[in-house]
Amino acid sequence: MTAPFNMPDEFVRGFFKSGQTLLQAYTGAAGETGVQPAAAPKMPALALAQAQAHYWQQQMALYMGMMASATGQAAEPAVQPERGDRRFSADTWRDNPWYSLLKQTYLLNSKLINDMVEAAGVGAKEKHKLRFYARQFIDAMSPANFAATNPEAMKTAVETHGESMRAGFANLLEDLKRGRISITDEKAFEVGRNVAVSKGSVVFENDLFQLIQYSPLTDKVAERPLVIVPPCINKFYILDLQPENSFVRFACEQGNTVFLVSWRNPDASLGHITWDDYVEQGALKALEVGRAVSGADKVNAVGWCVGGTILSSALAVLRARGDDTVASLTLLTTMLDFSDPGDLGVFIDEQGVSQREQSIGKGGIYAGSELGFVFQTLRANDLIWPYVVNNYLKGGAPQAFDLLYWNADGTNLPGPMYAWYLRNMYLENNLCKAGRLTMCGTPVDLSRIDMPSYIFGTQEDHIVPWKGAYRSTQLVGGETQFVLGASGHIAGVINPASKNKRSYWTDGKLDDDAEAWLASATSQPGSWWTHWSTWLQSHAGKQVAAPKKLGNAKFKPIEPAPGRYVAKHPPEVMGA
């Protein structure tokens, strides 16, 4: 552990390196080696002067406004929080002169830092890192995050005679033991009791995963079953949280026989598992068992996020082997071309990947808590600082929320698989290059995936930028449909048809220009689930009687859903 709350080495190193980059751009100071580069990037003098001038102009407006307020005159704030910024929603931040000054000074300083980052004369990749780490610093330094400068925390402490401070310190100690910030009431949920409650049975298991077959909810079902491969970096039950927002239940209600992969949360005993194992013993095995149990000629396959990357790799291997037993492919917020990985890209460079290869690349475990922290930093003002304020400064307890319970239920990754994935996907972007990678003894070419495909992205995705998801349409073969949903990586996918919220876009012109596709697409109200279900019907085969029993003679039910693997919480094992 490098810091409290399992802060990964990549984050710590990137933070300090970006600070050094900004200092170097500003002063021309020497780099990491202590040697002044011959052509150190310089901050354009005009841009810096403009940023400073604007800053002092706004500072003067702020002080003039404060003086006017002191004499009873009305004054407009020099700067306002951005729309949707909930950190300063309390009236005290507006009505109390001291807190109003503190808030506006912070906002002005934040803008100056951002302006300095934008003016820095560095390349696009370094600029992206500067923006990300500057945002982390700015978010962390908010006066709302400190007890002495948070009016609500101070008020609560006075009203409770200091009890809130004692409770907050106790909460902090508990979270330090856990190695992560509590973001929901974890006692309010239990897998199999009030989340992951769809009826079914585990019909197959190996060391890597269990395959769940869900009970039918209609008298007749489609001949071809649905096999779902979720990400291995989270538990599967995001697709089966509760009945009203369960994608699994919806698919069953639409007359599908649903099989779902439940990845095992690896401990040290699985520290040798590779990417090829996830492809061969994971996705390919799940497809095989699903088809065997259903007795169908083909199956329909769905993959989400890295589960979609694993599934696509498996299908490329299948087609290279001459196997055409998958009728259609659905990819949900999945990257196959990693040229634009969004904010996750700031953690990836040769030094960091090499360190992971040396420490866990030949065996070991990458702790899920580290990966969880990385994802939280992508939305720190939603997933970190509100809970610091509520739990530690105010001594409160987080509310019960099923999605955040799932979010906190992280999984480890085998070191060899993780290190290979980092290098070949994020660092070198090899998957989208035909024949560059060999998996399971077979050269991989995504264009061989020639079955019909439904590719779904979400407009505000901070993990798989939607244009990256869109690029998959240019990589896979066969007839392709792209659909863009509103919202983000999770909420955009888990958008129940019964609630009919948000919207999605369809039927744009498919070519290599994502923006042109969006400009020509049609906006549709409600959930994309119904649109996908209609598309799937044309690939699902004829209607047959729903099975009266789950499994078959070869693959008999082992235990009820959701199975042992999803409920197991092995200890965190550090690979380094």
* Catalytic residue IDs: 305
Within 10 Å of residue 407's Cβ, how many Cβ atoms?
19
- Rounded to 5 degrees, φ, ψ at 200 are 175, -175
Which of 354, 359, 365 lies closest to 414, judged by CA?
365
**Token pair for residue 408?**
């906190």
Distance between terminal CA atoms of the chain?
A: 9
Cα-Cα-Cα-Cα dihedral sign, residues 455, 372, 236, 530: negative
Specify the pairing of strand 200-205 against strand 559-560. Answer: antiparallel
Distance CA 71, CA 446 (A): 70
**Token pair for residue 56?**
């002092």
Within 10 Å of residue 512's Cβ, how many Cβ atoms?
10
- Cβ(408)–Cβ(372) under 8 Å? yes
Within 10 Å of residue 564's Cβ, how many Cβ atoms?
13
Within 10 Å of residue 574's Cβ, how many Cβ atoms?
16
Three-state SS at 525: strand
Cis check for the bond before 562: say yes or no (omega within 30 of 0). Answer: yes
The two counts, helices (H) then strands (E), for the chain are 21, 17
Which residues, in sequence order, are CB contacts of 407 under 8 Å at separation 6+?
183, 184, 234, 372, 383, 490
- Cβ(398)–Cβ(387) under 8 Å? yes
Distance CA 375, CA 175 (A): 18
Which of 299, 298, 309 lies closest to 331, judged by CA?
309
Q: Please list the residues that pair with 543 across neighbouring strands.
A: 222
**Token pair for residue 384?**
């970190």
